[in-house]
Amino acid sequence: MCKVDVQERILAKNESTADHNRSHMRAAGVLCVNLMGSPGAGKTAVLEATSRGASNDLSIGAIAGDLATDNDARRLQAAGIQAEAVNTGSMCHLDAELVHRALHHFRLDDVDLLFIENVGNLVCPAVYDLGQAVNVVALSVTEGEDKPLKYPTMFAKADLVLLTKTDLLPHLPNVSMQAIHDAIARVMPRPRVISFSAVDGTGVNQFLEWLKEAA
Amino acid sequence: MHEYSIIQSLVDSVEIHAARHPNAAVKRLRVSIGELSGVDATLLATAYEVFRFGTICDDAVLDIVPVAACWSCVRCGGEIPKGEVLRCGPCDAEAKLTAGDEILLDQIELEVQ
């Protein structure tokens, strides 16, 4: 019997494609944001509101991953965002190769900010590096205060949590923002949270400021 | 469930390593899976059982070594127990993950024929 010590990351190939994507985006001067969250957390609405709130000199692009349909990409295009749909079929996440292929259809020189709207899922997308500069997780106030404790990997990798749908809080007497913040602090080493509402515009400017600092 | 695509990557990687030993059969693999890697060990084992047939791993046993998550203070190195706020009180410093995010192929055992 011969034992071969390998000590190799199983997703090394994905990571090398992700690094390739990252270098493309750096060279084009684009800040790439991997936007993740549950289905229905409000990821597309976050992008629409961000586009509405952004000044005219900030050009936004998006790659929208979904199992099926290009509905999100069409919504984003209607909001003035250069958007490309990526259908993953049965795959529960985007990987670096899918993003790489989508980037080839993209006019990177025309955008300052590229969002990758990942497939709605709090588990699988956290595992795959896509070549992003930062990870942002959208968590809606209706999802349950202990959601971060249930999905620690996703929040451990996040650079920012957008606490979405805060306009609903008056109708949610049992939801405590303090409990959500406490749960995040137990799974996210540098907790950074922005309260956000795509309906009344809460947090949009703060998010744009955060993006400017990250760029 | 992304465990199938992890197994696909694992088998691809084993093929590359095994190609350097042309007259050997793959008999055993050892992988390390961290508690905070986002990969579920049970699902990974199931995916492997389904996927290995007809591949280079057809006759190989998969050993999965679980690695517990460990958070430590970036300043003093003291451990911050799981479930606690990820901040070192005495140092007023953040925690970093020192173990538990592994998705590693550790070792391949080959039988020379």
Question: Comparing C-alpha atoms, which of A13, A211, A16, A11 is closest to residue A115?
Answer: A211
Contacting residues for B110 by C-beta, under 8 A, at least 6 apart: A1, A2, A3, A4, B18, B21, B24, B25, B26, B27
Looking at residue A165, which CATH number applies to its domain?
A: 3.40.50.300
pLDDT in tens, chain A (215 residues): 899 999 999 999 999 999 999 999 999 999 999 999 999 999 999 999 999 999 888 999 999 988 888 888 999 999 999 999 998 887 889 999 999 999 998 889 999 999 999 999 999 999 999 999 999 999 999 999 999 999 999 999 999 999 999 999 999 999 999 999 999 999 999 999 999 999 999 999 999 999 999 99
In chain B the domains, ranked by start, together with CATH numbers, are 3-69+99-112 (3.30.2320.80)
- Looking at residue B47, its pLDDT comes to 96
Distance of CA A175 to the CA centre of its chain: 24
What are the tokens at B34? 């961290």
A188, B72 contact by CB (below 8 A)? no
* Domain interval for residue A91: 27-214
What are the tokens at A167? 């306009």
Taking CA–CA distances from A153, the nearest residue in chain B reads B36
**A3 in a domain, yes or no?**
no
Q: Does the CB of A105 have a partner CB in chain B at under 8 Å?
A: no
Taking CA–CA distances from B100, the nearest residue in chain A reads A153
- Looking at residue A106, its pLDDT comes to 87
- Looking at residue A68, its pLDDT comes to 83
Work out whether the CA dihedral B90, B93, B94, B98 comes out positive or negative: negative
At residue A12, what are phi and psi to the nearest 5 degrees? -55, -40
- Looking at residue B106, its pLDDT comes to 98
The structural domain count of chain A equals 1
Question: Comparing C-alpha atoms, which of A11, A34, A62 is closest to residue A131?
Answer: A34
- Looking at residue B113, its pLDDT comes to 79
